[in-house]
């Protein structure tokens, strides 16, 4: 019973090794636009961005914050963008594992929220 009528999804984005720091913003906008275009009307996406240190070193924290906020402002289905700084670029198998873990995490969270809603509904019927 999802009374919010919203489906949450997590999308893992790992910056490929061929993306240079000066191309990063354009790459991120292309990727998030693609996620936005594929999203259902009643879905919200949490983007988990794995950012290599080589790119973070070039961008200031203020610039990164502004870029990530701009993503959530521009694309309505992007609920939140999380950034995880990594030392080296990720292999495809690592991205797939991270995506699988993220999907399990969001499924467990949604299940917990539904149990909570059911408990609140049951309590309200008692009073």
User: What's the predicted TM-score (pTM) here?
Assistant: 0.75
Q: Could you tell me which residues are beta bridge partners of residue 43? A: 7
Q: Could you tell me which residues are beta bridge partners of residue 12? A: 48
Q: Give the pLDDT confidence score for residue 4 in this predicted structure.
A: 58
Mark 17-30 as b/e (b = at least 16 C-beta within 10 Å). eebeeeebbebbee
Domain boundaries, the chain: 7-126
Structure tokens at 67: 């870029």
* Integer Cα distance of 110 and 78 in angstroms: 17
Calculate the dihedral angle through the C-alpha atoms of 53, 56, 57, 59, rounding to the nearest 10 degrees.
170
pLDDT in tens for each of the 127 residues of the chain? 445 577 888 899 999 999 999 999 999 999 999 999 999 888 899 999 999 999 999 999 999 999 999 999 999 999 999 999 998 877 777 878 777 777 888 777 778 877 877 888 887 887 6
């Amino acid at each position: 019973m999802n009374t919010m009528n919203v489906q949450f999804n997590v999308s893992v984005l790992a910056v490929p090794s061929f993306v240079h720091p000066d191309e990063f913003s354009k790459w991120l906008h292309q990727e998030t636009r693609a996620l936005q275009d594929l999203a259902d009307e009643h879905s919200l996406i949490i983007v988990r961005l794995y950012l290599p240190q080589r790119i973070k070193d070039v961008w200031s924290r203020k610039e990164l914050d502004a870029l990530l906020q701009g993503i959530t402002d521009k694309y309505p289905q992007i609920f939140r963008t999380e950034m995880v700084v990594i030392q080296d670029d990720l292999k495809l198998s690592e991205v797939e594992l991270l995506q699988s873990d993220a999907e399990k995490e969001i499924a467990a969270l949604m299940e917990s929220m539904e149990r909570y809603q059911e408990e609140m509904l049951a309590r309200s019927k008692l009073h």
